[in-house]
Chains A and B, each alone.
Chain A
Amino acid sequence: MTEPAFFILTALLDAPRHGYGIVAEVAELSRGRVQLKIGSLYGVLDRLVGDGLVELDREEAWQGRLRRYYRLTEQGRDALDAEAQRLAANARLASTRLRERRNLITGTPS
């Protein structure tokens, strides 16, 4: 799973969001590190919809335009859960190694 896909799924966890709502939420979640462009967002979104991880929730008229709201599917939640666990396991592995290395240098027993 790519980083933008991971953040888009995470942004949709708490509530359905429209296109720009996802962009704004992803920027906030990543503390401004992931700034999705509209082309990049829809490039990922159409794949997530195609894979059944995200689906259309509703359409709402706003300032003369139609906004589509997207929500996470059960399958999307499972995929995000699996990816989060994978990333957490990787992070744990790296942290353990780093701690061991630091202890080796300072001579502190682990």
Chain B
Amino acid sequence: MSRLEERYRFVLRLLPAAYRQEWEDDMVAAFLDSMDTGDSETTAYVTDYGRPSLSEVASIVSLAVRLRLGGADAPPRSYAWGQAVRLATLMAMLTHAVMVTASIAVTLWLSGKIAWLPALAPEWALIPSGSIWHTAWDLAGYAWLPAYIALVLGHRRVAQAVALLAVVPPAITTAVQQAGDVPLSVSPWAMLLIDVVLLLAMAAFHHGAPPVPRRPWLLALPVGILLVPVPLFTIQATTPALRLVDWPGLSCAAVTAAMVIHLAVRVSRRRPRTLPWSLALTLLAVATLALRTATLLDYSDQAQHTTLATIASVQAIAVLAVGVPVAVAAIRALRRLPSIPTVCPRPTTPS
């Protein structure tokens, strides 16, 4: 086996085993044919030192995503994973969209633009940014709102491009700050990592995936704003003790609440088709726990570190207590699903 073939077969390992069993050798033969330059010396050099091009690798990654996170015509297990990733992505994007939309209102309130709301304590007052570029840079996070709407409306590539605007500026800001005077911290990088995963997870909304039901997901935006950030900010502004609840803590609370509701719905309605939701909430619980654990490291040098660590531990325990039963139910249901292998072409007598 040539080194080029070895490298190509390594990339093909991204594909599900059942698919590889049927198609791998044929794909390798076609790929090696495509690398044949016609000149024996050049071809020998390419097979020894060549690598699959980025576009070839991208085509395999795209196929792997379509096969592993399948649409309605995929085997049940692949479809369940596909739906789970799509639901988890939508929920995470919705959370971002809700928080940034609410923060626009909060920013207006803090800057005194909404006159009929009560004035806040001086410590909440906004410090105006130095320049218009600085302000624009800070506003990049608001791109999650159009990105979410684009995803719900079925424009996946637009959603990814717009979300990239929300991810890149904070990454640059964090890198520049931490390279300067600001002490190194894990939290911003952990959050950015989750955002990058979210960006990649949007690939699950491929052509074969069923369209997103628009009405409930668009309606969830105003409902979410009214239910979470508005009351939360009002409470935090009036009760100083609650300011200790940070973003990972809020995520833990939201995921725990969603899982409790999910378990209650499962028990009361005995609906058998809740597997994608169970899997999606499990994925979100894992991400939230990882975020909570990573951000705990930054509390060690803070004044209230004992209180903060205790609160964080309680949040993590709450996610685990509800998340484990949800995950167990999801894994059991997943194992019951058949994993149908792909169609295998067999030689037939020409008609």
- The distance in angstroms between the C-alpha atoms of A56 and B19, with both chains bound, is 16
Residue of chain A at shortest CB distance from B61: A39
> B64-83 toward A: CB 8 Å interface, digit per residue (1/0)?
00100000000000000000
Cross-chain contact A38 with B23 (CB below 8 angstroms): no
> B215-236 toward A: CB 8 Å interface, digit per residue (1/0)?
0000000000000000000000
Known contacts A46-B23, A56-B348, A74-B351; A39 and B62 CB within 8 A of each other: yes
Within 8 Å of chain A (Cβ to Cβ): is B239? no
Known contacts A38-B34, A71-B350; A19 and B29 CB within 8 A of each other: yes
For residue A49, which residues in chain B have a CB less than 8 angstroms away from its CB?
343, 345
Known contacts A19-B33, A23-B34; A68 and B26 CB within 8 A of each other: yes
For residue A37, which residues in chain B have a CB less than 8 angstroms away from its CB?
55-56, 58-59
Interface centre among B22, B26, B58, B63 (most CB of A within 10 A): B26
Known contacts A40-B62, A68-B26; A20 and B33 CB within 8 A of each other: yes
For residue B30, which residues in chain A have a CB less than 8 angstroms away from its CB?
18-20, 23, 38, 41-42
Residue of chain A at shortest CB distance from B31: A38
- The distance in angstroms between the C-alpha atoms of A46 and B73, with both chains bound, is 13
Cross-chain contact A46 with B342 (CB below 8 angstroms): yes
Within 8 Å of chain B (Cβ to Cβ): is A7? no
How many of chain A's residues touch chain B, expressed as a range?
20 to 34
Residue of chain B at shortest CB distance from A51: B343
> A50-75 toward B: CB 8 Å interface, digit per residue (1/0)?
10000111110010011110110010
Within 8 Å of chain A (Cβ to Cβ): is B246? no
Known contacts A20-B34, A38-B31, A41-B30; A66 and B25 CB within 8 A of each other: yes
Cross-chain contact B60 with A39 (CB below 8 angstroms): yes
For residue A58, which residues in chain B have a CB less than 8 angstroms away from its CB?
347
Cross-chain contact B34 with A42 (CB below 8 angstroms): no
For residue B22, which residues in chain A have a CB less than 8 angstroms away from its CB?
46
Within 8 Å of chain A (Cβ to Cβ): is B258? no
- The distance in angstroms between the C-alpha atoms of A37 and B61, with both chains bound, is 12
Cross-chain contact A39 with B29 (CB below 8 angstroms): no
Within 8 Å of chain B (Cβ to Cβ): is A43? yes
Cross-chain contact A42 with B345 (CB below 8 angstroms): no
User: Could you say which of A19, A40, A57, A62 contacts B63, with CB atoms under 8 Å apart?
Assistant: A40
Instruction: Please provide the 5 A-B residue pairs with the shortest distance between their CB atoms, ordered closest to farther.
Output: A19-B30, A39-B59, A20-B33, A37-B59, A56-B345
- Could you list which residues of chain B lie within 8 angstroms of chain A, going by C-beta atoms? 19, 22-23, 25-34, 55-56, 58-63, 66, 207, 342-343, 345-348, 350-351
Given A50-B342, A50-B343, 8 more A-B residue pairs with CB atoms under 8 Å apart are A20-B30, A37-B58, A38-B56, A39-B59, A46-B343, A56-B348, A58-B347, A66-B26
